[in-house]
Structure 1
């Protein structure tokens, strides 16, 4: 048995109650009120709550990024050969990129070459093959350096190239590497240069300039020799940019001639 709802003694059915609410809303009554008036000046003073028990402040958060860079530095420093460095870098689990990449892309070409090319990160084709600069941009890079007598498959170190990237794993969607990712891989890159012992470095694109020079703006930096990791270094536009902007190949050719002159080829 259900109670019979009433309004001041009058029975109300659901339809009537709803109609009354709609009528009050149309009149502008949009807040519920008590049946009897309330004198707010006669209310008791607000009770002040008791103070909460003292709680010790939480410990200062650890600088996780710095800790991971320190870990990377230790792992890189412990490698005494390129093979050991590749093994250490591939085993470094603190960078999330490795979870979505197919293959680890360490290097290609001849160790001990006079010229070491540092690119940005693997693309789709590089990720499939596990080698840097093997897609369309890599094929253009090979043609560019072949024009001055250098090749990654050259037996003679005088005419050889050694090629790597700042990041050995492909970023999702070929996006640009993030600063935190560059910072984590920088100790490995620095050690990579030390162990490869090139005569000069070629910084292909903005990401290598950020890593090695702490600068960006490749169109402004390209063509001017500088120093990176204690070696002469020349920033150059990335071959992928040249594929999109063929007119820029003229400046790239000038940069290649500068490399040739530097090496006395």
Structure 2
């Protein structure tokens, strides 16, 4: 962690930093992905057979957007539309995510990167299993290292628990600024959940406003140190 980032976290009351509990049990050797560039990482994910999800997927869903983005949004796993098209959040949940981004002045691909914890679709859109998360986690770690985002927004319980390394409900995590490996992190509801639970859209809007304020604070501190 850089001294400047540590200072930000201290000022935001985020020290000590929450960290994931290392690579989940059963994950591929961290060295497999830890030194890859974008091209190598994409090729490796495309041909990955580390868990049984490769047997039923149509294609992997790596991620999409600005590879130098300040904003990183992480969901849990591809659905049917994503599996067919090879891009995250392209179905109804994707349309809602695009509207969520627009509501705080963002848009897909413009200083925003979107990915999932798991890169292959679980059958029947079930939640990914622990061994499936473990197999993909080194790929997500490397994506984060390459992007070096200023802020991470986790979408849903699976992504939030994976990045924070602890079991918790979204209701207990939201409304606060957490951190992953020194990067401020805000947890909110998954767009697919919001499509089923309309009354929680107002809470998600509050989370997005918190994310925007947090980013503004980070950027203002960056400007002050130049």
Q: TM-score range with shorter-chain normalisation? A: 0.7 to 0.9
Are 2:217 and 1:259 aligned?
Answer: no
CA distance in 1, matches of 2:169, 2:182: 21
* Displacement after TM superposition at 1:193 (Å): 0.3
Give me the whole-angstrom Cα distance separating, in 1, the residues matched to 2:147 and 2:109: 16
User: Hey, what's the Cα distance between the residues in 2 that align with 1:102 and 1:84?
Assistant: 21
Deviation at 1:89, TM superposition (A): 2.4
Structure 2 CA distance, aligned partners of 1:130 and 1:112? 21
Q: Which runs of 5+ in 1 are unaligned?
A: 1-64, 155-159
How far apart in 2 are the matches of 1:251 and 1:208? Answer: 18
- Residue number in structure 2 paired with 1:83: 39
User: How many pairs were matched up?
Assistant: 193
Map 1:237-248 to 2 at 5 A: 237-248=189-200
- State the shift of 1:83 in Å: 2.2
Q: Deviations over 1:219-265 (max 9, x none)?
A: 22122110113210000100111111111011111111111111229
Cα contact 1:190–1:229 (8 A) shared by 2: no
Return the match for 1:205 from 122, 137, 156: 156
What CA distance in whole angstroms lies between the structure 1 residues aligned with 2:156 and 2:85? Answer: 22
**Could you say which residue in structure 2 is the equivalent of 1:137?**
93
Q: What is the Cα-based RMSD across aligned positions, in Å?
A: 1.6
The offset of 1:70, in angstroms, is 4.1
Residues 154-165 of structure 1 mapped to structure 2, 5 A cutoff: 154=110, 160-165=111-116
Aligned counterparts, 1:28-47, within 5 A:
none
Larger Rg, first or second structure (1 or 2): 1
Moved more, 251-260 or 116-125: 251-260
8 A contact 1:183–1:211 mirrored in 2: no
Tell me, in whole angstroms, the C-alpha distance in 1 between the residues paired with 2:39 and 2:73: 18
TM-score where L is the length of structure 1: 0.69
Structure with larger RCO (C-alpha < 8 A, sep 6+): 2
Look up the SS of the partner of 1:164 in the other structure.
strand
Unaligned runs of 5+ in 2: 1-23, 220-226
Extract structure 1 runs of 4+ deviating beyond 6 A: none
Between 171-180 and 81-90, report the one with greater CA deviation: 81-90
Equivalent of 1:93 in 49, 53, 64: 49
